[in-house]
Amino acid sequence: MYQVLVPVDESESRAVHQAKYVARLPKAAEAVEATVLHVSPPDGSEPPAFADVGAAVEAAAHLEGAGVAVNRQVEAGQVAEEIILAADGIEADEIVVGGRKRSGVMKVLLGSRAQDVLLSAERPVTITGERVEIGEGIRRVLVPVDQDERRAHHQAEYVANLPDAPETVEATVFLVFRHEDYTGAPPREFGDVPAAEEAAAHLEDAGVPVERVHTGGEITKKILEAADEIGADGIVMGGRKRSGVQKVLMGSTTQDVVLSAEYPVTLTG
């Protein structure tokens, strides 16, 4: 089974969007098991029962209504730390967290807890945001890569390991040559970047249909335009590692995509 951890706070709206994302994973009813987790900060009081946390109840109900097997879990402690421990405990394939909206601005603003999880997890983390743009049928995934072959491999590996891939997944491996959209820009090809070919080849070897796309221009803008063009169900970004510290550090492009996309964004590390 594909194991997903769904940590929820008190927001029922965010929790439902997280649950919607999980319910639309390929063959979710047959292949996915979700653990809905609520962590109560350590304030000296007894943690609430699961049934008393409205957001947790809503997420579990939506998932079960979609036929997804659900485990219910409540913990007390430091939120990000308990989320990581719970993910390790179930050997989660993916952690699905909620985002936040700035008042009056249509951008996802990561809360401190979601950011802490992103910076600490050694597993793929998906940020759903306040809206979930997920179509029916085949799951279309945009995989923007840079020059780093290790990151590209991890991005492709995540897509290839989605439940019931390759039958239910299509991938577009996307490469942007930074700011090379002017007249007279040097001719560049997808195959000029080994990381791009590494990602595409890994997916093809796994049987996932792959489209290779390259362009030039401002990277974040081009990624968002490409996601719109293919009707993406998600964007799979690579993370960065701090030297000597085993934590994911988001690069500026990844952060810009997370803050701007109207699609779920997965950070693979």
Q: Is beta strand 94-97 parallel, antiparallel or unpaired with respect to 210-217?
A: unpaired
Q: Which residues are bridge partners to 173 per DSSP?
A: 143, 212
More confident residue, 250 or 35: 35
Q: Which domains does the chain possess?
A: 2-127 (3.40.50.620), 139-267 (3.40.50.620)
- Residues 241 and 269: beta-carbon distance below 8 Å: yes
Nearest CA to 248 out of 256, 257, 259, 239 is that of: 239
Interval 170-181 mean pLDDT? 88
What confidence tier does 130 reach under pLDDT thresholds 50, 70, 90? low
The rounded distance, in Å, linking the Cα atoms of 225 and 231 is: 10
Q: Is the pLDDT of residue 56 over 90?
A: yes
Question: The dihedral of CA 163, 69, 13, 85: what is its sign?
Answer: negative
Q: Give 6's strand partners.
A: 36
pTM above 0.85, yes or no: yes
Which of 8-17, 134-143, 161-170, 178-187 shows the lowest mean pLDDT across its residues?
178-187
Tokens, residue 154: 């991890």
Res. 249 pLDDT band, cuts 50 70 90 = very low
pLDDT of residue 100: 52
Separation between Cα atoms, residue 62 and residue 14, nearest integer Å: 12
Instruction: Please state, in angstroms and rounded to a whole number, the distance separating the CA atoms of residues 269 and 265.
Output: 12
